[in-house]
Amino acid sequence: MFDLTGRHALVTGSTQGIGLALARGLAEHGAHVILNGRNATRLAAAIAQLQQEGLSVSGSCFDVADAQTAQAAIDAIEANGQPIDILINNAGMQFRAPLEEFPIERWEQLMQLNVSSIFYVSQAAAKHMLARGKGKIINIASVQSELARPGIAPYVTSKGAVRNLTRGMATDWARKGLQVNGIAPGYFRTEMTEQLVNDADFSAWLAKRTPAGRWGDVHELVGAAVFLSSDASSFVNGQLIHVDGGMTISV
């Protein structure tokens, strides 16, 4: 039920961190994974790394936050004989600042990448999936889809939107054969969180706030991604799986 052999998966923002871990995990379970990023050099390095591990991967370098570019890239992947069976919308960004001083241009950039890109890429991929009557879309949300912290109100807003966009996609497309779900990571050690990881006070707070008592490791997200990508989740739709060490269920 969890075998992904013969399936093609596109993982956006997969040159590092969570995206790279998910790409590796899906490939280890049999999928051919198409990595994505805007930086061609980083993308080539990530592809080479996974290929050296004996995994079946390729790449597509495009900006997910540009609607026309995303549509053209998806169409090109499909035309190249790689039907996208699984789409993981992972690309995203974070920017921290007091809300009253948050730069307008950063707000717009954050919304474009964290929310609009999911709509652009999913719509482009879904057109092909719907024609085949099947497909899996997984949106990477966050514990901040449910919780807020000081200094990240726009990020919280964007991840709340991802939660409800996931529900909306499932409502529209489930009857047409697609399963659309989300994964909500807690606090994981990645390049994006390196500054927080190195902050002793924050890490101490996190250990006390999280029932598991620690940061997550990115490989711990793979199980949820494989489940939602596989036949095991054939009747799962519109759900958000929290992989957060218990943070969202504890006060």
d(CA 59, CA 36): 6
d(CA 64, CA 73): 9
Residue that is written with structure tokens 């790449």 in the block: 59
Among the listed residues 155, 187, 215, 227, the single catalytic one is 155
d(CA 115, CA 20): 20
Active site residue 155: yes
Residue 75 main-chain phi, psi, to 5 deg: -60, -40
Q: 88: helix, coil or strand?
A: strand
Which of 227, 137, 147, 226 lies closest to 173, judged by CA?
137
Residue 1's CB: how many other CB atoms inside 10 A?
8
Q: What DSSP string runs through 33-85? A: EEEEES-HHHHHHHHHHHHHTT--EEEEE--TT-HHHHHHHHHHHHHTT----
Burial class for 69, CB neighbours closer than 10 Å (0-12, 13-18, 19+)? middle
Q: Which residues are catalytic?
A: 155
